[in-house]
Amino acid sequence: MSSSSAGDEGLKGDVARRARSFRVAGSLLRSLRVARGWTQEQAAERIGLSDRLIRKAEAGEPIELQSITMLAQLYSTPEAPLGSKELLAAPLRADGGESAQAIQTEAIVCRWFEEFWNQRRLDVIEELAASDCVLRAEGVEFRGHAEIRRRGEVIQAAFSDVEFVVQQMLSAADMVMSRWRMAATHGGPWMGEPATGERVIMYGASWIRLEGGLLREGWDYWEPRQP
């Protein structure tokens, strides 16, 4: 690749990043962090971002969509759920096009992760997934609400004190791709392994396809547990 084409590609990348960047409500983000007693470095460590980005966000500067989504997950609680749109300095225009759609789809997936894993709310399956949804995970294909709920019950029996954090999230059209980290206490049998009672850390990735604002297809891949 010539130096001019490399420069063109870099310019295109910068333009794409700016198109997916939004000014955020810096004072709100700061108050949410201070209320939890975290420093900027501690907040960054919890979410897997740099403290430089935390400072940038709290200054109200534009940051990329995936970072906004991750901050919403970090500060969301069952009592005060927080979506990506609520962190924006100005509301999205109705004709926001692809960026507005990306905000919507990533917010749905972020809510799915937060409520299914951290809040242990199995009712979110009926709320956010299509009735004929399909999930492929652990080498098995789960079809419909009932099968996915049974999988959730098995997971909740096997793991407690779950801390699920999305480390990266990207969207393209109706597909959202996420890379995540989960820490949990292994208190029940899981995939043929007996409970250890130990704190375990797992890394994984999920691909989720949405249709009509509902989860239609999902693929989960878990990496081996790490101490």
Task: Check which CATH number belongs to the domain holding 19 and give it.
Answer: 1.10.260.40
Q: Give the predicted TM-score (pTM) of the model.
A: 0.64
Residue 215: C-alpha distances to residues 70, 99, 112, 156, 181 (Å): 19, 19, 9, 21, 21
Same-domain check for residues 182 and 129: yes
Based on the domain organization, do 8 and 73 belong to the same domain?
yes
If asked whether residues 16 and 120 sit together in one domain, one would say no
Residue 5 shares a structural domain with residue 114: no
Segment (H or E) for 201? strand 199-211
- Of 91, 106, 129, the residue that ends a domain is 91
- State the residue range of the domain holding 29: 1-91
| Pair 103, 167 in one domain | yes
What mean pLDDT comes out for the span 153-177? 88
- Domain CATH number, residue 139: 3.10.450.50
Distances (CA, A) of 52 to 42, 56, 58, 65, 69: 12, 6, 10, 16, 17
Give the lowest-confidence range in 50-54, 172-176, 186-190: 172-176
- 212 and 107 in a common domain: yes
- In 82-143, which residue ranges form alpha helices assigned H by DSSP? 97-113, 124-128
- pLDDT band, very low/low/confident/very high, at 33 (cuts 50, 70, 90): very high
Note the pLDDT tens digit of each residue in 36-63: 999 999 999 988 889 999 999 999 988 8
Q: What angle do CA 81, 87, 91 make, to 5 degrees?
A: 115
Q: Are residues 51 and 114 in the same domain?
A: no
Is the domain of 113 the same as that of 9?
no
Domain boundary among 57, 91, 125: 91
Residues 123 and 213 placed together within one structural domain of the fold: yes
Which residue, of 30, 62, 91, is where some domain finishes?
Answer: 91
Do 99 and 32 lie in one domain? The reply is no
The 10s digit of each residue's pLDDT in 100-135 is 677 778 888 888 998 899 889 999 999 999 999 999
CA nearest to 75, candidates 165, 11, 3: 165
Following CA atoms 24, 27, 33, 35 in sequence, which dihedral angle do they give, to the nearest 10 degrees? -140
Question: Do 40 and 135 sit in the same domain of this protein?
Answer: no
Same domain, 4 and 82: yes
Task: Tell me how many domains the chain contains.
Answer: 2
- pLDDT grade, residue 3 (50/70/90)? very low
What value does the mean pLDDT take over residues 21-42? 92
